[in-house]
Amino acid sequence: MEPAELLRHGDEVLVAVVEVAGALVIFVGALWAAVRFVVEGLRHRTAAVFTPIRLSLGRFLTLGLEFQLAADVLRTAVSPSFTQIGQLAAIATIRTALNYFLGREIRQEQRQVTDGQRRP
């Protein structure tokens, strides 16, 4: 096997591993949030109990999206074409925007939770 071919194959394996890691993070976060949603929903019937669950799910989603973006960067690391670079730029822009707005929502909800805990 040629060194360039070996490098490409190794890159494909790394991309697959990082993509699976990102998907697992999102899946575990969604599963965990769903279980907590059901358990807390049965125990408490107030909307305030669900905010921490949403915050946690948001953190899982943010981390999973970061893994997916890392996989996209790895995919274009070995001899990228202009088409691949353009696709990476579009994907990175979309995922960065998603992360930004998700992070902003997490911070906003975290402030609400913190403010709610300070009040008697």
Could you report the average pLDDT of every consecutive run of 10 residues in the chain (120 residues)?
Answer: 77 92 97 93 79 88 91 80 83 85 84 70
pLDDT value of residue 44: 83
Domain that holds residue 36: 3-118
Domain count, the chain: 1
pLDDT value of residue 76: 81
- Give me the DSSP letters along the chain: --HHHHHHHHHHHHHHHHHHHHHHHHHHHHHHHHHHHHHHHHH---GGGGHHHHHHHHHHHHHHHHHHHHHHHHHTTSS--HHHHHHHHHHHHHHHHHHHHHHHHHHHHHHHHHHHHH--
